[in-house]
Structure 1
Amino acid sequence: MQFKTLENTSIAELLHVFNEAFSDYPIPMHLTKEQLINKFVAESIKKEYSAGAFEGDKLVGFILHGIGVFDGNKIAYNAGTGVIPSKRGNKITSQLYEFILPILKNNQINKVRLEVLSENSPAINTYTSIGFQKKRILNCYKGSLAELKSDADSSVQYLYQPDWKLLQSFWDWTPSWQNSISAVNNSWSQLDTIGLFANDKLVGYIVFNPKINRILQFSIDKSQRKNGFGKQLLNYFALNKSKTVSILNVDDNSIETNSFFLSSGLNLFAKQDEMEMEI
């Protein structure tokens, strides 16, 4: 078994192995070439910081790493770890990390972050043995939006140049990597960002991907809550975009956010552990 970075591995080969590795996952994933390319762009994945396990010339396992700076830390984000089913049980994930961690450290990266399904005990045990610690629980929702009654007096407008400092002031929790400001900016041309205004003041917003009907960010001004603005924003989405939606990685600690999505007709379909390791 050889371990190398992925600069010389084609998207086509990565796509094939990615889909094979996740074919029997608890929540199966199958990406198209376009979707994998979009994932690379959105999540700032860099092949030179990603690792592959090879048997001869054949890729049998991988770690894809996105790179970014958050709160002064240069972080590597595990955007996907996969081993093809026939090669599992050989501690390939641990060996991939053993190979790539010195490379990350030599490039001034001081933290590694990942998400793993909370029910995937073998993976959690592997990551814990490598040195990862659980930071928070993230909830994933999908379903058909219910019609929500709201008497709020407001209007919607597309946001073409969002004031991120203002929008961040609406947050109760920090979005995970793939829903972060960086990811939104990276994929800006493929996303829709809509603001809700009352008396010419922005009181809420939603960022979503219309191709897959996924909400990346949704928040209401803290001083304007309980006025029906959240319901009105989701009603607009359901009537003008799609009733069927998903939203990934809602912080479990935010009781208000989770209660709102459940009351909006969405169902909790998965929980993830966000884990982090200092290197």
Structure 2
Amino acid sequence: MIIRNLAALSTADIVECLLSAFSNYFVQLPQEVSYWEDRFTAARVDLSLSFGMFDGDKLVGFIINGIDHHNGKLTAFNSGTGVLPAYRGKAIVDQLYEHAVPLFEKRGVEKCMLEVIQENERALKVYKRIGFNISRSLTAWKGNLVSDSSVYQLKKVSFQEVLDKGLYRAGLYSWDNMAEAVLLSEDNKTTYLVSDKKGGLKGYFTIGANGMVAQIFAVEKKHLSEVVKSIAGVSPEVRFGNIPLERQDLIGDLQNLGFGNTVNQYEMEYHL
């Protein structure tokens, strides 16, 4: 077997291996290639720094990396790792990282990051063995909201307006929900400023067509629940992915509104 980067592969080829590798995963993954094309774009994936283990011409394991700055450091974010069932137990992920790290360093990458479901003990063991440490916990939620258009005003804006108004707080969001990701995925995400009926700005949220909220922020914490409730004006069925555990104000509001916790992940880092 040999390790090569994934630059010569199509997204469809990568997704075929990915879906086979995750066929018995903790959650059901989307099947559409278009979903993964959009996700890889938002994740800033660089296929020249993403690597696969090949058995002949067959892709049997992979690490897909997004490259961008995170907290001031050039970072390789693992947007997906998988190994086909028949090839597990061969330390393929260890080998892929052993191959990748010198190439990361050559490109100036200072740290690696990833997210892993907390119950995935096998993956946690592998990542810790490679050198990753848990940096924080991320939670996901799902629920329904009742619209009350008499209370809130929603104004559709470009995400750049959120940046211009100084509303964005990078530390509140995971890799796939950072400003850089939203700016690259505005074809399938929409940002709304939330105001009261007198025009007083309360905050904003960014949401996908599937009801997944990428970002939410209130100018004053006491108005956060109002901003959450305003989402019903766009989508009554709402999901939140990767909310850092330290956002207890938001988590508390979601619990009070009857949202259920769907999955929890660890964010992990490995400093080169």
Is the TM value for this pair above 0.5? yes
For the residue of structure 1 that corresponds to 2:173, the secondary structure is coil
| Cα displacement (A) at 1:149 | 8.1
What aligned pairs does 1:1-279 form with structure 2 within 5 A after superposition? Answer: 1-145=1-145, 147=146, 154-160=152-158, 161-164=160-163, 166-168=166-168, 173-198=171-196, 199-210=198-209, 212-222=210-220, 225-226=221-222, 229-238=223-232, 240-279=233-272
Q: RMSD value over aligned CA atoms?
A: 2.0
Q: In structure 2, how many angstroms separate the alpha carbons of the residues matched to 1:249 and 1:70?
A: 16
> Which amino acid in structure 2 is aligned with residue 265 of structure 1?
G
Q: In structure 1, how many angstroms separate the alpha carbons of the residues matched to 2:18 and 2:112?
A: 21
Q: In structure 2, how many angstroms separate the alpha carbons of the residues matched to 1:162 and 1:189?
A: 16
| Cα displacement (A) at 1:200 | 3.3
Q: In structure 2, how many angstroms separate the alpha carbons of the residues matched to 1:143 and 1:156?
A: 20
Q: Could you report, residue by residue, the CA deviation over 1:181-209 in whole angstroms, capped at 9, with x for unpaired residues?
A: 00000101221101112443422111010
Question: Does the 8 Å CA contact 1:148/1:232 hold for their aligned counterparts?
Answer: no
Q: How many residues align?
A: 269
Q: In structure 2, how many angstroms separate the alpha carbons of the residues matched to 1:250 and 1:3?
A: 35
Q: In structure 1, how many angstroms separate the alpha carbons of the residues matched to 2:175 and 2:7?
A: 22
Q: In structure 2, how many angstroms separate the alpha carbons of the residues matched to 1:148 and 1:272?
A: 30
For the residue of structure 1 that corresponds to 2:166, the secondary structure is helix
Q: In structure 2, how many angstroms separate the alpha carbons of the residues matched to 1:168 and 1:234?
A: 16
Identity of aligned residues (%): 30
For the residue of structure 2 that corresponds to 1:27, the secondary structure is coil
Q: Could you report, residue by residue, the CA deviation over 1:46-103 in whole angstroms, capped at 9, with x for unpaired residues?
A: 1001010100000011000001013321111000001111211111111111111111
Q: In structure 1, how many angstroms separate the alpha carbons of the residues matched to 2:230 and 2:168?
A: 22
Q: In structure 2, how many angstroms separate the alpha carbons of the residues matched to 1:70 and 1:231?
A: 28
For the residue of structure 1 that corresponds to 2:108, the secondary structure is coil
Q: In structure 2, how many angstroms separate the alpha carbons of the residues matched to 1:12 and 1:150?
A: 43
Q: In structure 2, how many angstroms separate the alpha carbons of the residues matched to 1:220 and 1:16?
A: 41
For the residue of structure 1 that corresponds to 2:203, the secondary structure is strand
Q: Could you report, residue by residue, the CA deviation over 1:137-179 in whole angstroms, capped at 9, with x for unpaired residues?
A: 000112333x38899x54221122423262126x8x4200001
Q: In structure 2, how many angstroms separate the alpha carbons of the residues matched to 1:14 and 1:125?
A: 25
Question: More displaced, 158-167 or 184-193?
Answer: 158-167
Structure 2: runs of 5 or more not aligned: none
For the residue of structure 1 that corresponds to 2:172, the secondary structure is coil
For the residue of structure 2 that corresponds to 1:206, the secondary structure is strand
